[in-house]
C-alpha cells in the first residue's frame, strides 16, 4: 500500500483569501499565538541581556591574554544581537510587538546580568548564561513541536549558536585553569 500525498488546492486557495490581515498566520497555524509571542519576547529579553553583558565584558577585559578573550566577547555580543533581531522579526510576523522596554528587561530574561570583576569571573558568568539559554531554548523547542515549525527552527538555530558559545567559554575557562 502506497501513501499518496495530495493537496486540496481549492480549499487552500479559498482559505488563503480569508483573514489576509493576519499575514503569514493562516488557519492551519496550530500553536497558541499568545504563548508563542510571550516565549519569543522572553527570549528577546534574554538575548538583549546577553548582548549587554558581553559588550560590558568586551570593554572591561584586562590582563594577560585579555585581547583574545575580549575579541571573543565582541563576537558573541554581535551574534546575540543577531539573535535578538531574528526574534523581534518573528514576533512582528506573528502579529505581536517586540518588547524592548529597558525597565523590565532583566525580569523577563532567562539569564542574569552579572558583571564579574576578573576575566575568569566574566568567562564563568557568560558560560552560566549560555547554559541557561541552552536549557530554556531546548524546553521551548520541545514545547513548540510541530505547532509552529518556523519559530521552532529559529529557536533551534539560535540554540546551536548558544552551544558553540558555551563551548568557547568552557575552552577559555580551561585555558585559564
130 is annotated as contributing to ligand binding: yes
CB 106 within 8 A of CB 50: no
83 is annotated as contributing to ligand binding: yes
CB 31 within 8 A of CB 99: no
Collapsing DSSP to helix, strand or coil, 154 comes out as: helix
**CA gap 127, 80 in Å, rounded:** 14
Q: Give CA torsion, residues 142, 136, 77, 59, to 10 deg.
A: -170
pLDDT of residue 64: 81
pTM for the whole structure = 0.89
Domain boundaries of the chain, sorted by first residue = 30-173
pLDDT of residue 147: 95
112 is annotated as contributing to ligand binding: no
Low-confidence ranges of the chain (pLDDT < 50): none
22 is annotated as contributing to ligand binding: no
What is 30-173's CATH number, 2.60.34.30, 1.20.1260.10, 3.40.50.300, 3.30.230.10?
1.20.1260.10
pLDDT of residue 1: 63
Which of these, 120, 121, 144, 140, lies nearest to 132 by C-alpha position? 140
Give the orientation angle of helix 66-93 with respect to helix 149-176, to 10 degrees. Answer: 170
Q: Which three cell numbers stand for residue 85?
A: 533581531
SS3 per-residue string spanning 30-83: CCCHHHHHHHHHHHHHHHHHHHHHHHHHHHHCCCCCHHHHHHHHHHHHHHHHHH
**CA gap 48, 42 in Å, rounded:** 10
Amino acid at each position: 500500500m502506497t501513501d499518496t500525498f495530495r493537496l486540496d488546492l481549492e480549499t487552500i486557495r479559498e482559505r488563503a483569501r480569508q483573514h489576509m490581515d493576519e499575514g503569514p498566520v493562516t488557519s492551519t497555524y496550530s500553536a497558541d499565538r499568545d504563548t508563542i509571542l510571550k516565549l519569543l519576547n522572553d527570549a528577546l529579553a534574554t538575548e538583549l541581556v546577553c548582548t549587554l553583558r558581553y559588550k560590558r565584558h568586551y570593554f572591561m577585559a584586562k590582563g594577560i591574554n585579555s585581547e583574545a578573550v575580549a575579541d571573543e566577547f565582541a563576537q558573541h555580543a554581535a551574534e546575540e544581537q543577531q539573535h535578538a533581531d531574528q526574534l523581534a522579526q518573528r514576533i512582528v510576523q506573528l502579529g505581536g510587538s517586540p518588547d524592548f522596554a529597558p525597565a523590565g528587561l532583566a525580569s523577563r530574561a532567562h539569564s542574569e546580568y552579572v558583571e564579574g570583576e576578573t576575566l575568569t569571573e566574566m568567562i564563568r558568568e557568560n558560560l552560566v548564561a549560555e547554559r541557561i539559554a541552552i536549557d530554556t531554548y531546548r524546553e521551548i523547542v520541545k514545547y513548540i513541536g510541530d505547532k509552529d515549525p518556523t519559530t521552532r527552527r529559529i529557536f533551534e538555530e539560535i540554540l546551536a549558536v548558544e552551544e558553540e558559545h558555551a563551548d568557547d567559554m568552557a575552552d577559555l575557562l580551561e585555558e585559564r585553569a
